[in-house]
Amino acid sequence: MSTFKAPKGTYDLLPPDSARFLAVREAIATPLRNAGYGYIETPGFESVELFARGVGESTDIVSKEMYSFTTKGGDQLALRPESTASVLRAVLEANLHKSGNLPVKVWYSGSQYRYERPQKGRYRHFSQVGAEAIGAEDPALDAELIILADQAYRSLGLTGHRILLNSLGDRTCRPVYRAALQEFLRGLDLDEETRRRIELNPLRVLDDKRDEVRKQLVGAPLMPDHLCEACKAYHEQVRELLTAAGVRFEDDPKLVRGLDYYTRTTFEFVHDGLGSQSAVGGGGRYDGLSEMLGGPALPSVGWALGVDRTVLALEAEGVRLELPATTSVYAVPLGDEARGVLFAAVTALREAGVATDFAFGGRGLKGAMKSANRSGARLALIAGERDLAEGKAQLKDLESGEQTEVPVAEIVPEIQRRLAAQG
């Protein structure tokens, strides 16, 4: 055993379980690709200032959870705690918004890093698939992204997820609501840190999970009651489009999420089978973020879905994913001559698109066949000196146990025919 272990709050993805994570990522990405979203990849670390401006200095993510460090050259960098700010930075830097084809629609997949208190469903290193539509203000775009996430979950077989929906208003109506909320919160019996939050970002207090705080929030002013007419109309259009698409959602007037950049449409995907860590993903509109990063006005909307929590949601519902076999054929050579012949056959099978593995290490028949069965292969390709003297190999069906001869020259087409017949 190694003397080293994975850092606290992190995990390793190992086969065969890692196949489920890959399947979840692919299921989320597929509807995005079908809707015209192109793949984007950004560095795992960025300037601290990017996240301080984009995510918000008053958020727990920046003030408590961000991994930041100083490089040998004196640069202040941070491991990315979320990807929206990084993606928008990349789009602005590459001038994609000047292409004349707005919105810029991109999706990403990767790890995020936050100094969390480790528990099931909450890690210091976690994986997300996300999507961003940059440069257009359109209720249909908000609805599209919510629908695509819902389609991804349903394609996986999930049925127990719920969509919470709210509007956080805009720069016209949110200041009025902010003032009303601050007045209400100042009259509550709250600790010093929460009182500081009232002055910096009072909406974040609504997201407090502590019972002693939540009990006092009964009767707090709600954003939907303070929306301007434009925001009301925008939000109603999003709701109508979702309803017309058959997507069920729940209005949640207290939904604010944990990032400062959200405006108007805000949503969260939750699953009640996950206990306290019920959020599996979420997002919303962030119309002013580009300007916060020094760019032009680019109204945008996006989301991120947690791969880790989606896997937990699948487990909670007892959903077993249909995963492709990692190995279809397992080649077992008996003797040096057979090693050369079967290794060439393995290479040809792989080139033909057949997932094939090989009994490395010169093991005997018994040990090699145990490995073949453990691999999940459908067929074992076996050959010894006597077989090769006759120009043949043995093909064994690992499910039925039936074994037949096949000419060496016909190995590839015969295996393709067998696998096609087995479906």
How many domains in the chain?
2
Is residue 234 in some structural domain? yes
Is 250 marked as a binding-site residue? no
385 among annotated binding-site residues: no
Q: Cα–Cα distances in Å, from 128 out to 24, 82, 142, 269, 417?
A: 10, 9, 19, 13, 39
Same domain for 54 and 112, yes or no, is yes
354 within some domain: yes
pTM here is 0.89
Q: Are 39 and 151 within one domain?
A: yes
Annotated ligand binding at 128? The verdict is: yes
C-alpha 275, offset from chain centre: 20
How far is the C-alpha of 109 from the C-alpha of 121, rounded, in Å? 18
Residue 201 lies in a domain: no
Query: How many Å apart are CA 158 and CA 176, to the nearest integer?
Result: 40
- Which residues in the chain come in under a pLDDT of 50? none
Report the alpha-carbon distance of residue 180 to residue 174 in Å, rounded: 10
pLDDT at 99: 85
Whether residues 156 and 75 share a domain: the answer is yes
Give the domain CATH number at 266.
Answer: 3.30.930.10
One domain for residues 343 and 239: no
Q: Is 119 annotated as a binding residue?
A: no
Tokens linked to 217: 């929030």
Alpha carbon distance 262, 85 (integer Å) = 12
CA distance 170 to 264: 6
Give me the domain span that covers residue 345.
329-422
pLDDT of residue 302: 96
**Confidence (pLDDT) at 375:** 87
Q: Answer with the one of 264, 292, 317 that is the final residue of a domain.
A: 317
Residue 363, in any domain of the structure: yes
154 within some domain: yes
pLDDT, tens digit, 9 for 90 and up, residues 153-172: 999 999 999 999 999 999 89
Q: What is the CATH number of the domain that holds 383?
A: 3.40.50.800
One domain for residues 167 and 284: yes
Q: Would residue 186 count as lying in a domain?
A: no
Are residue 301 and residue 340 in the same domain, yes or no?
no
- CB of 129 closer than 8 Å to CB of 108: yes
Indicate if 69 and 141 belong to the same structural domain. yes
Count Cβ atoms within 10 A of the Cβ of residue 269 and give its class: 0-12 exposed, 13-18 middle, 19 or more buried. buried
132 is in an annotated binding site: yes
**Is 83 labeled as ligand-binding?**
yes
Same domain, 246 and 395: no
Residues 240 and 384 grouped into a single domain: no
Establish if 98 belongs to a structural domain.
Answer: yes
Residue 163 and residue 242 in one domain: yes
Q: What is the pLDDT of residues 163-210, one digit of tens each?
A: 999 999 998 998 898 899 899 999 888 888 888 888 888 888 887 778
Please identify, among 284, 317, 350, the residue that sits at the C-terminal boundary of a domain. 317
- Kindly state whether residue 200 falls inside one of the protein's structural domains: no
Whole-number Cα distances in Å, 258 to 206, 220, 242, 266:
10, 18, 24, 11
Which of 317, 346, 379 marks a domain boundary? 317
119 in the same domain as 33: yes
| Residue 151 marked in a binding site | no
- 237 labelled ligand-binding: no
Domain match, 399 and 309 both: no
Q: What is the DSSP letter of 16?
A: T
pLDDT at position 202, please?
A: 85
Structure tokens at 130: 């996300």
Three-class secondary structure of residue 379 per DSSP: strand
Is residue 114 marked as binding?
A: yes
